[in-house]
Structure 1
Amino acid sequence: MSKKWSTSKYSRRNTRKPFPFGGTNQQRMKTVGTSAVSYDDPTLNQPLEEYLASFGVFETEQETQHRRSVLGVLNKLVKTWIREESLKQNMAPAVAKTVGGKVLCFGSYRLGVHNKGADIDALCVAPQHIRRRSFFVELRKLLESHPLVKDVRAIEAAYVPLIKLDVDGIEIDLLFSRLPLAKIPDSLDLDSNVMLQDMDPKCVRSLNGCRVTDAILRLVPNVDNFRLALRAVKLWAKRRGIYSNALGYLGGVSWAMLVARTCQLYPNALPATLVHKFFLVFSQWKWPQPVLLKRPDSVNLGFPVWDPRVNVSDREHAMPVITPAYPHQNSTFNVSASTRSVMVEEFKIGLAATERILKGECGWQRLFEKQVFFNKYQNFVVLLASSATQEDQLKWSGLVESRIRHLVASLENNDAVALARVNPECYKTAPANATSQPPANCCAMWFIGLQLETSRSLDLSHDIQTFTENINSVGGRTNMLREGMAIQVRHVHRRELKEYLPDSLLCREHTSPDTKHEPHRSPAPPAAPTRLPSPPAAAAPRPAPPTATKRPAEGGDYTDAPLWSAPFFIFYVASMYQNKLRKI
C-alpha cells in the first residue's frame, strides 16, 4: 500500500470485513472487488472532493460548532419541559431531575453528509409518562417563548407528526417518541427490537429514522469513504433532477442505502471508484428485485413490514429499497414506472461519464452537468398552485406537490404517453397568462415533460380534470381550502414555455454531451456464484422510451447481492411469476 493511501482519510485502512449474517459461508452476503479494483486511483479523490466543495457541500468548523450549540439549546429545552411535566404529575423533585429525555439526530446530519444551511432531522425521546399531547402543546409553548426560536409550527396530522421550528437560523424538524422506560439514560441504545414492544405506531415510525440511520452507518465497511461517495451521489441526483421522494424519485435515505449497498459490494474501494461502481451496479440492477443491506429481522411485534409474500401491494412496487431496521419498509414506494425509467437512464448516463473521468478523459464537471429538461421534450403539463397569502400558499403548495405523483401515474396510463418526467424544481414566478395575477411568493409552478407514443392523438382532459378534482376534494376534507386558493393544470407545447418562464432560464439549457451515453466497456468484475434465476423486470404500462438505449449485460450480475433466504426469495418470485415457477 502506498504512503498516500495509508495517510489519507479516504483509505482502505480500518475497513471492516464483509458482512456475515450467520449461517454458512454460502449464506453470507456476497462482495465483489475485494481484491484490486479497476481504476482505484487515490489521486482521483482529491479532485472529487475539491469539486464538491465548489458547490458548498462542506461546512466550516465554525458552522459545525453553531449547529452543535443549536442542538444544545434544543436539548436543554426538552429536558426542562420533561422535568416540568414530571412535576405536574406529582413526581418528587429529586426523581423528576433524573428521568432524563434527550434530542437525537438522524438523516443527513447524523450520516455526516449534510450541506451548508441544511435543516436537521431530530427526535425528542421521552420516558413513558410523557404524553404526545403535551409535546404539541406544552413544549410548543416553551419553544415559542425562547428568544432564539421562531417559526414554530406543529403538524400533528402528518403520517409522522412533528414540530417545525427555526433555532438561531437553523431549521429543525422535531419528531416525538415515547419509550417504554421510566428513565431515559444518556447512553440510550435504540438498536434493540425489544424496545418496540408495546409502543404505539406513531412512536415507532418516529423512532425508525434514528434506527435506520444508525443501521446504515454500522453496515458500511468504511464510513469516511461512504460519506464522500454519498455526498457526490446526492449532488449528482439534485443536479440531474431526480432527488425528491414526494415526486416519485428517491429521497435522502434511499440514496444513502444505494450507496451503502455499493460500499458493501466493493468494501476496499475508494470514494471515486465507489461513485463509478454505484452507476455500474444500479444501471444493471434487475428491478423490481429489492435492494437490502442485511437479512430482514425474523421478529414479529405486530407492526407492518414490507413482505411481498403477504402484502399484494408490495409486489407492485417498482424499485424497492428496504430499510435495514425493523419494521422493514420500502423507502421508495412512491417510485412509478416513469420515474424508474428516468432514474435508470440517468444511471447509464452517469456510468458513461464516470468511465471517462476514471480514464482521465474529462473532469468531474462532466458527471455533475445540470439536467436538460425544457429542451428535451416537446409537450409539457404545467401545474400552477396559487393562494392569496403566503401562509395559505405554504400549506396549499405542499398539498399540491404531495399529489403530483398521482398525476404522473395517471399520465402513465394514458395510451398516448410513453413517459412522464416531472421536474422537481418548483418555480415561484407567476406566469404571464395567469387568469389572476397572484403575488410572486404566492405562486408555485411545476412542469412535467411528456414523451409521446407515435401515431396516437393526445387527450389529457380526463387526467387533468381527475387530478384537479382530487386536489380540491382533499383540500375540502382537511378544511384547508381558503379564498384565493386555486389549482390550474395545463397542457402546453415547448414554444409556449416563454409565457411561464423567463427567457434567461430557457436559453441557459443546452444539450448535454452526456445525453447520449457511450457504450460501456469497463472490465468485468468477478463472476457471481451460481444462484436462482432473477425474475424479469416488472412490466411497465407501455414500452420503454426511445431515448433509453438498451445496453447489453456486461460483467457480473449484481442482483443476487440483496441476499434473501432461499425460501423467502423463491416464494417472492413464485408469487410474481407463477408461470416461471417450474424453471426455478
Structure 2
Amino acid sequence: MDDKNNTTKTITTITDQLNSLRSILQSDDYVQIQPSGDYEQVRIKLDYDIQISFHFDSLSILNKPLTINNVHDLRITKSSNKCQLNNEQWTNIRKYFDKLIQNQNESFSLLSIVQSIQDHLLKNIITNQKSKQKTKKPMETTTIEDVSTMSNKFRGADLIFNRIQHDKSIDRSQVIIGYEDRFTGIYEIAFNEFKKVHEHEYGVPMHRIRYFKINECIVWDRTRKLDILTGSEQQNGSPYDTEERSILVQGLYHFDQSLQQWIIQYPHITLTSDNPKVPSTNDTCLPERCHIVTWNILFDYYQSALIHTSQRYRSILDTLKSLLPDIICLQEVTYNFLNLLLNEIWLQENNYYIIIMKNVIDSGKEKLYGQLMIMKNFRPRSFSICPLDLSDNDEETAVATTVTKQKISKELLIARFGLNTKATIDLVNLHLHSDLSRNASGKRCQTLENFFKKMKTSNYMLIGDFNFGDNNLREQNILALYENKVHDLWKDVYNLDQNPGYTYDPSTNLCAHITSQSQINRRLDRYLIHTLDNVSYSIEHLSMIGIEKIPIDPLNINNNQLINQSDHYALQLIINFRTRSISHRSALVILPTLNTRSFIRSYSKEYYPSAGLWPSHFNLLWPFFDLIDCQNDQEDILLRLRLLLSQYPSFSIKINEIDSFIENNIIYMKMNDESTKYVRQLHEQLIKLFPQCLRDKRSSCYNPHMTIGQFDNEEKFNEAKSSLILHESFEFPVEYIYVLQRPHDNDTTPFHIAYQLPLGPVLQPINFKQINSVHIKLQEFFQTMNLYETNQSYKRKQEKFEKLSSCFQQMFNKDTLHCFTTSFLPYGSYRIGINGQDLDTVFVLNELKSTNNKTSFDESLLQLKHDSNVLNNHVVNLLETQINGNLKDEIIFYRKVQALFSIISILFNDQTKVEIYVQIKINNEKPSEDSIHGVQDIERLVTYVRCPPIFQHLLTFIRTWAQHVGLYEQVYGYLGGYSWAILCAYICHTYLPSMKSLSSIEQFSIDELFLLVRQFFSTFANFNWSSQAFRLYPKSFKQMNLLEKSSVHNRGSMRIISPSPPYNNTGRATINSTRDLIIQGFQRVLQLLDTINTISPEDKLNALKKILELNNDFPNEKVKSLVQLTFSSENSNELDEWIGWMKSRLAYFVNACEKECHLVIQTQSSIEYKSNNTEALYSIGFQLDPQTLIQHQNFSNCLKKFVDQFDLCLNRKKSMKISYKIFSIHDWKLERMQAKTQRTTQ
C-alpha cells in the first residue's frame, strides 16, 4: 500500500488501523495499548529497542484515520537501556524522525512514519556498521555488544517480507517464498498467497521461511546468509564459517525470534557472585519432573573416513528432536555439530538456552572439543566454565569463569538452577580423562576427590562421560569413600549383574569397535547425585538410548551398511525433585497417656471445637515436615530426630494449673515450672536440629501448652475462663514423641499418628501390664508363652551397663581429654528392648578437630593415632585396666577377641555376658560422617517401623519361633538377630494399619498380630531369595565391585541388606543349603495355617501357639550322615574360647563343602554342652551315606584342612582338645538316646 493511498483511504475503526501497524512489524506484541488517564497510550516497538509512542482519544477518532493530526504526544524514545545504537546512530535517528514530522502535512499516516523509520534503520544503520567493520582490526575476543551488533547484520525473514510488501519498486506478483513444511520439506508459494499465522488458521510462522525469489532469482537465503535485497553481499566460504563469526565467545545463548538469531545473554555469571539469599525465579528453576539426556556424541575428526559423521550427526539431532528433553548435556562437541544444532528449528522454536564452551568454538582451529548444556524454558542462575584439572591448593579454581592463556584441553561446565525459590542445585557436565591420557586413572581420581571435597554446596549432580568402568578399582574406591552421600543412579535402579549398563560397548557398537583399543565393554557414562538438602528425589525412568544402528546411505537401506550414532550410548533420565515442605498438616507433639484422656476431655469437650481433629497434645514443633515415606525422610529427618531424642531420657509432665492466652482467646492446661523447663530445653535442641521449622519470631517465644478451649470472642472467653478450674493436679510419663499428620486434600480429616519415636537410648522393654503398649489380652498371651524377658534379667543387664559406663568415665572424661570425646552405648537386643542372650555395647573414642589445651592423656593418644592398630590395642588395654580395677571380683572370665575388629568379652558371676566393641574415629579419616557401630543400625529400624511397641512384639514372636525350629544363628549358616529384625521391620512398615490415635496402639490385638505374622511368612516364603536382595529401600543398596563381592561382609546366599552404610549383607552366614531350609521353615508355617481354622480370635490365638510349638527338625529326613565335632577343656572359660575359634573357622569349611564338594548340608543351629560345661558337641548333617561321604576325596581334604586349623590357635592349651566322628543318622540318634541324661542344650 503506497503512502498516497494510505492518507486518503477511509478506515472504519481504530482496531483495523492498529492491525495494519502490526502487519508491518515483527510481532503482534510489538504494538501495545494501555489506558492512560482519559486517553489510550500506544507503544510501537521497532528494531534496536527503539519505540514510537503516542496518545489518542478512542471516542473522538473512532472513525477517523490514525494520522499525525489525530494523536497527541508523538515521540520516539529508547525502550530500554539495552538499546544497541551508539550516540551517533541514536542522534541520527532522532533527527530523521523530527524532520519526517516537520516535512509532512497533518494527514500523514502513522503507518507511513513507522515504515519510514524502519527503512531508515535498515539502510543507514547497517551501512554505517559495515563501513566501520571494514576499518576494525581483528580481535581475539569479542564483547557482548560486539556479538549483539554482529548478530543484527543479517536481516530476518519478517523484515524482508515487510520490505517487499511496502516497496513500490518490487513487483510482488513475481515474488516466490520458499518455506519449510514440517512434513514435506521445502514448499514454494506465491508472495500474494502467503498467509501469516495471525492471518489464517493454517498460516506459516515467519521463522520457517528459507528464501525469497524475485523473477526466479534468489534475493534472500537464510541458510546461505544471502541478502541481496538490503545490499548485503553473499558471504564467501561455508555456512560453518559464516556462523562462526557470530558465535565468537563462550557463554549463554538464546534464540531471538524477532531477529532470527542466536544472541548471547551472558558470557558468564560466576557461581561466587550468585547470592543464595536471592530467591530463584520461574525462569531459573528446574521443572519438578525433569527429563535429562547426556551423550558423548564422538567428535568428527577421529577416523573420519570410518565414522560417517554427517549421517551420525543428523541422526543424533533427530533423536534429540523426538525427545525434546528439559536438559541436554553433550560431550565431544565440535563447531561443525554446533552449527548444525543452532540451525535446528525444534531448538529455535522450543525456547532453548545453550551454554557454549570456548573449546567448542575453537575446535576447528585447534582440534579441540568441549561440552554443551542445553536447557528448555529455563536458564541458569549462574554458571562457570573452568579447567578440569584442579590442583589441591586451588580452592578458587572451581568457580573460575575464564580460561587462562595456556592451552587447556579439558574443561567442565557447572550451572546452578533453582529447585524452588529457596533451594538450588548445581549440574556439572564433565568429561574426564580417557585412558589415552598419561596417568589417566590418577587424574580421574584427583578430579573426583577435588569435586567431593571442594564443592561449596551439598546439592549437586555430576553428569557425563567419566571414562572409567565398574572394574576400575582406583576410581571405584574413591566413589566408595563417598557412597553415603553420593549416589550412582544406575546402581540405585539396576543390579549390575543383570543390567551392567555398558554405555561403551565395542561388542555391539560399531563406532566403539572402531575407537576402542582394548575392546572392553564399560559403563563410562553416569549420573551421580549428592544427597540433597531439603529436597527429595525419585527416579521415574533411567535407560540407555541411541542404541539402534542407522543406515550409512539413507537412500539405500538394503545394502547392510550401518553405523551407530556415536561410540557411546546416551543415558536418558527422568527424575522427580520434590522440595521438602513444612506443613501445618504435620506436627511434632507430646501426647498424654490414655489413662488421662477422659479427664482432659471433660474440660475440652465443650469449649474446644478442634478436639475432634486434634488429640489432646503439647506442640513441640508446628508446623513440621511433610513426611512422604521415602528414604530421604528417614535419613534426613527421622533418624536425626531419633538420635537427638536418644540423648533425652523419658520424663514426667505434671499439670497443675489452667491458664489462658488473652490475645487470642485460648484457655490451656499448663505444666509446672520443672516440666516447662525440661520441655523448653528439648524444644531448643529441636530448633537447632531443624531451624527451618522456626517460621517467625513469634514461634521463637515457645510456651508449651495443651489447649482445652478456643473462643470466637472475648465474652465467651471470659465466661468459660471462670468455670474452667483445675481442682487437682495430675501427672503422666512421657516415653515417646509423636509425629501427627493429616492428608493435604481434606481439612476435615483428623490428625493421625504417623510415627511414634521413643525417648532415651534404650527402648522400654516390653513386659506384662505395660502402658503405651498393646492390648492386655496380647500381653497375657506373651506372658503365658514366656516371651517377655524377666525383670531380673533386664535389671542385671542394666546394672552391668551402668557399672561399665561408670568405670570408663573415671578414665575418659572432660578433665582428662580435651582433644577426644568418648561414649559408651548399648546396641542390639538390649537397645531395642527385647529379650536377648547378651548385652552388646560399643565404646567410641572420637577425635575432635580442635587440638588446643592438650592434656598428657591427649598427647599419648595423638602420638599413636597414625598407626590405627597400635592405638586400638592401647585403648583396649586401658579399658581392660579399668574393668579389672573396678569389677574384677564380679567377673568369671574376661577375654579379648581380635578378629575383623576388637571386642572385649566379659562373663559376670550372675552369667550375664557383655561384649564391648571398640570403635576409634580419627578426625578426617573419612570424608563422610561415620556411624556408630550397631547404634544407627537399630535406630534406622526404630524410625522405620512407625510403632516400636508393635514391632517389639512381632520381632519377639518371630525370633522365638526361629530359635525353636533351629533357624536362628548361634553358630553358622542361619539368620542372626539383626536379619530377623530387618524382616519384621519391613512387615510392620508395610502392613501395619494407620494409627488413628493412641488407642490404635494400646488396643493392638491378637487378631492384628496374627495378620502381621501370617503376612510375614507369606511374604518371605514367596520372595525370590536366590536372585534378589531384600532391602528396606531401593536406594539403600550398593552394587559391589569384584573386590567387595569376596568380602566377608557381603557373602551369603540370602541377601538381607543393612539399611546403614556400607549396606553389608546381614545374612552373610547363609549358604544355599541353609537358605533353602529357612525358606522351607517359612513354607512349613503357611502349611500349618492352611490346615487349621483361623477365623475367630480363639482360632488365631491357637494358631499362634501352634507356630511356637513347632520343633527343630535337625537332622531332617534327608540327612543320612553327620560329622560330629567334640570339644573339651579344663573349664568353661577355655571351652568358650575353644568354641569361639571353631566358629571363626567353620565358615570356610561349610562353604567349601557346598561349593567345592557340591554337597547339600544342614548345620546345627546351636552348640550342645554336656552337664559339666567342659565338653561340647556340634554336628553337621549331609545327604550322603557315611561310606560315600568318607570316600569323597574333596570332602576329606576340606575336613582335614578344617581340623588342622585348630593347631593354629595361639591361645590353645594342652587341655583344649578336638575330635570328630562320622555317623550314620541311625547311629547318631542311638548315641544321643544313650547320652541324653548327660547333655543339656544351651
TM-score (norm 2): 0.32
Task: Confirm or deny: 8 A CA contact 1:306 1:329 kept in the other structure.
Answer: no
Deviation at 1:351, TM superposition (A): 2.2
Task: Tell me the residue number matched to 2:1033.
Answer: 294
Task: Please tell me whether residue 449 in structure 1 is matched to residue 1181 in structure 2.
Answer: yes
Give 1:452 deviation, angstroms.
Answer: 4.7
For residue 132 of structure 1, what is the amino acid of its counterpart?
N
Quote the offset at 1:342 in angstroms.
0.2
The letter of the residue matching 1:178 is I
Residue matched to 2:936:
211
Shift of the 351–297 alpha-carbon distance from structure 1 to 2, 3 Å rule, reads closer
Tell me the secondary structure at the aligned position of residue 133 of structure 1: helix
Match of 1:359 in 2: 1095
Structure 1 241/416 Cα, relative in aligned 2: closer, same or farther at 3 Å? same
| 1:84-233 matches, cutoff 5 A | 87=816, 101-115=822-836, 118-128=837-847, 129=858, 131-147=871-887, 149-166=890-907, 169=910, 170-180=912-922, 194-196=928-930, 207-233=932-958
Q: Does 1:397 align with 2:1156?
A: no
Q: Distance in 2 between matches of 1:134 and 1:316?
A: 31
Change beyond 3 A, Cα 1:174–1:468: same
Q: Among 1151, 1172, 1176, which residue is 1:409 paired with?
A: 1151
SS in 2 for 1:501: helix
CA distance, structure 2, for counterparts of residue 413 and residue 127 of structure 1? 42
Cα distance change, pair 504–363 in 1 and its aligned pair in 2 (3 A): farther
CA change 1:422–1:45 in 2 (3 A) is farther
> Whose radius of gyration is greater, 1 or 2?
2
Letter in 2 for 1:20: C
Q: Is the 8 A contact 2:893 2:908 kept in 1?
A: no
DSSP 3-state at the match of 2:894: strand
Whether the aligned pair in 1 keeps the contact of 2:830 and 2:840 (CA below 8 Å) is: yes
Aligned to 2:1113: 372
Residue 133 of structure 1: how far off its partner (Å): 2.8
Q: What SS does the corresponding residue of 2:1169 show, helix, strand or coil?
A: coil
Q: In the alignment, residue 401 of structure 1 is paired with which amino acid?
A: K
Closer, same or farther: CA 146–318 of 1 in aligned 2, 3 Å: same
Per-residue CA deviations over 1:282-309 (Å, capped at 9, x if unaligned) read 00001131111124459xxxxxx66268
For each residue in 1:332-363, what CA deviation from the matched residue of structure 2 results, as whole angstroms up to 9, or x when unmatched?
A: 11211100000000001122334546335544
Output the CA distance in 2 between the equivalents of 1:306 and 1:172: 35
Alignment of structure 1 residues 39-50 onto 2, 5 Å:
49-50=779-780
Greater Cα shift, 381-390 or 279-288 = 381-390
**Change in 2 beyond 3 A, CA 1:154/1:481:** closer
Please state if 1:271 is matched with 2:1009: yes
The answer for the alignment partner of 2:665 in structure 1 is: none
Task: Supply the distance in 1 between the matched residues of 2:1215 and 2:792 (Cα, whole angstroms).
Answer: 44
- The one-letter amino acid of 1:380's match is S
Where 1:155 maps in the other structure, the secondary structure is strand
Give, in angstroms, the shift of residue 77 of structure 1.
0.9
| Structure 2 residue matching 1:358: 3-state secondary structure | coil
The CA deviation at 1:144 is 1.2
Pairwise CA distance, 1:424: 1.4
Which residue number corresponds to residue 284 of structure 1? 1022
Q: Is the 8 A contact 1:111 1:227 kept in 2?
A: yes
CA distance in 2, matches of 1:105, 1:164: 14
Matches within 5 A, 1:60-79: 60-61=790-791, 63-79=793-809
What amino acid does structure 2 have at the position aligned with 1:358? T
Tell me the secondary structure at the aligned position of residue 500 of structure 1: helix
How far is the alpha carbon of 1:240 from its aligned partner? Answer: 0.5
1:7-51: CA deviations, max 9, x gaps? Answer: 79xxxx99x97622359xxxxxxxxxxxxxxxxxxxx97666444
1:240 corresponds to 2:965: yes
The one-letter code of the counterpart of 2:943 is: R
Instruction: After superposition, give the CA deviation of every residue in 1:369-391 in whole Å (9 maximum; x if it has no partner).
Output: 22233473552313223334224
Q: Aligned equivalents of 1:253 and 1:209: distance in 2?
A: 10
Q: Could you list the per-position Cα deviations for residues 504-538 of structure 1 after superposition, in whole angstroms to 9, with x for gaps in the alignment?
A: 859xxxxxxxxxxxxxxxxxxxxxxxxxxxxxxxx
Structure-to-structure mapping, 1:309-328, within 5 angstroms: 311-313=1044-1046, 317-328=1052-1063
Structure 1 residues not aligned, in runs of 5+: 1-5, 24-43, 183-191, 197-203, 299-304, 430-438, 507-584
Cα distance change of structure 1 residues 264 and 463 upon mapping to structure 2, 3 Å threshold: farther
- 1:224: Cα distance to partner? 1.4
CA contact (8 A) 1:422 1:448 kept: yes
| Residues 897 and 905, structure 2, Cα contact 8 Å, conserved in 1 | no
Post-superposition offset of 1:163 = 0.9
Distance (Å, rounded) in 1 between the aligned partners of 2:822 and 2:1067: 32
Q: Does 1:497 align with 2:1107?
A: no
Superposed, which structure 2 residues align to 1:12-27 within 5 Å?
Answer: 19-21=629-631
Q: TM-score, normalised by structure 1?
A: 0.64
Letter in 2 for 1:397: I
Q: Following the alignment from structure 1 to structure 2, what is the Cα–Cα distance between the partners of residues 353 and 312?
A: 38
| Secondary structure in 2 matching 1:502 | helix
Query: Alpha-carbon deviation of 1:329?
Result: 0.5
Matches within 5 A, 1:26-41: none
SS at match of 2:934: helix
1:471 corresponds to? 1202
CA contact (8 A) 1:385 1:400 kept: no
1:385 partnered with 2:1119: no
Q: Distance in 1 between matches of 2:1114 and 2:796?
A: 38
Q: Is 1:255 the equivalent of 2:980?
A: yes
Q: Alpha-carbon deviations, 1:307-331, whole Å to 9, x = none?
A: 2687454897421011111111111
Contact kept, 8 Å, 1:416 with 1:452, in 2: the verdict is no
Secondary structure (helix, strand or coil) at the match of 2:835 reads coil
CA distance in 1, matches of 2:843, 2:916: 7
Secondary structure in 1 aligned to 2:810? Answer: helix
* 1:409 CA drift (Å): 3.2
Task: Structure 2 unaligned segments of length 5 or more: list them.
Answer: 1-592, 596-614, 618-625, 634-773, 848-857, 862-870, 995-1007, 1238-1242
> CA separation in 1, counterparts of 2:1166 and 2:976?
14
Task: Tell me how far 1:279 sits from its aligned partner.
Answer: 0.4
Cross-structure match for 1:345:
1080
In the alignment of these two chains, the number of paired residues is: 429
Q: Secondary structure at the match of 1:320?
A: coil
1:58 to 781, 784, 788: 788
Q: What is the deviation of 1:180?
A: 4.5
Q: For the residues of structure 1 that align with 2:1121 and 2:775, how far apart are their CA atoms?
A: 40
Taking a change above 3 Å as real, the CA distance of residues 398 and 54 of structure 1, as seen in their structure-2 partners, is farther
**Letter of the 1:266 counterpart:** Y
Q: Is the contact made by 1:215 and 1:324 (CA closer than 8 Å) also made in structure 2? A: yes
| Contact 1:105–1:121 (CA under 8 A) maintained in structure 2 | yes
SS where residue 1173 of structure 2 aligns?
helix
- On the 8 A contact 1:110/1:213 being kept in 2, the answer is yes
Checking the alignment, whether the CA contact within 8 Å between 1:377 and 1:451 is kept in structure 2 is yes
Q: Which moved more, 1:157-166 or 1:366-375?
A: 366-375
Give the Cα–Cα distance (whole angstroms) in 1 for the partners of residues 927 and 835 of structure 2. 28
Residues 366 and 82 of structure 1, relative CA distance in 2, 3 Å threshold:
same
Matched residues in 1 for 2:1176 and 2:929: separation?
43
Q: 1:194 to 1:498 in 2, by over 3 A?
A: closer
For the structure 1 residues 293 and 476, does the alpha-carbon distance in structure 2 shift closer, same or farther, using more than 3 Å as the test? Answer: same
Deviations 1:154-193 (A, max 9, x none): 42422221111245733211112233479xxxxxxxxx98
Cα distance between partner residues in 2 of 1:442 and 1:468: 24
Counterpart contact for 2:838–2:915, Cα < 8 Å? yes
Residues in 2 aligned to 1:73 and 1:357: alpha-carbon distance in whole angstroms: 51
> C-alpha separation between the residues in 1 aligned to 2:991 and 2:927?
29
